[in-house]
Amino acid sequence: MANNTSAEFDAVISTCKTLFIKKTKDYGTAWRILRPSSITDQIFIKAQRIRTLEEKKVSKVGENISDEYIGIINYCVIAMMQLELDENAALELNADEVSVNFDQKINETKELMFAKNHDYGEVWREMRVSSLTDLILMKILRVKQIEDNLGKTIASEGVKANYQDMINYSVFALIKLGTA
């Protein structure tokens, strides 16, 4: 059976966005108060928890690995939104505005995924989910270093590209886990 990466990507993102918008309606955009480093730490917590679950195979909290990958995707979208929103902008955004912004960030990220898939092929399909987790953790450490360097890089891509890669690795993991 042929793979349809676009449809699989869209299915995963639909699940993520549905949860994101429901939480926006429940909590508003309380996440707007988070500084970039706090968002990065939230992503780190989720990725580290995935790694722990991969190694121990037992959860005492009841959430599973798929839930954590969904959380990574949604926190990365939050991070990209925060990068572009003026720090003096209102903390509360309406759900429709958030939905449009979510779609914009995901569409940019999907375009990047297809560009990289063109160059690399779909090699991710041959990777282990645990390797995708490790790549996400590496990207988080890169973002932390860039943040510690006050956003300055010498030869590297910025934080947005790292967030996009983390989204794509998480989507790939969710596809491999059968969430798509």
Read off the pLDDT of residues 7-22 as tens digits, 9 standing for 90 and up.
Answer: 999 999 999 999 999 9
**What's the structural domain count of the chain?**
1
Helix pair angle (129-148, 159-176), 10° resolution? 160
Neighbours of 55 (CB within 10 A): 9
Using CA atoms, how far apart are residues 143 and 148, in angstroms rounded to an integer?
Answer: 8
Pick from 31, 40, 33: nearest CA to 143: 40
Average pLDDT over residues 129-147: 96
pTM value is 0.94
Q: What dihedral angle (degrees, nearest 10) is formed by the CA atoms of 141, 144, 148, 152?
A: 90
- Provide the residue range defining the domain that includes 44: 5-176
- The model's pLDDT over 64-123, given as tens digits with 9 standing for 90+, comes to 899 999 999 999 999 999 999 887 888 999 999 999 999 999 999 999 999 988 788 889
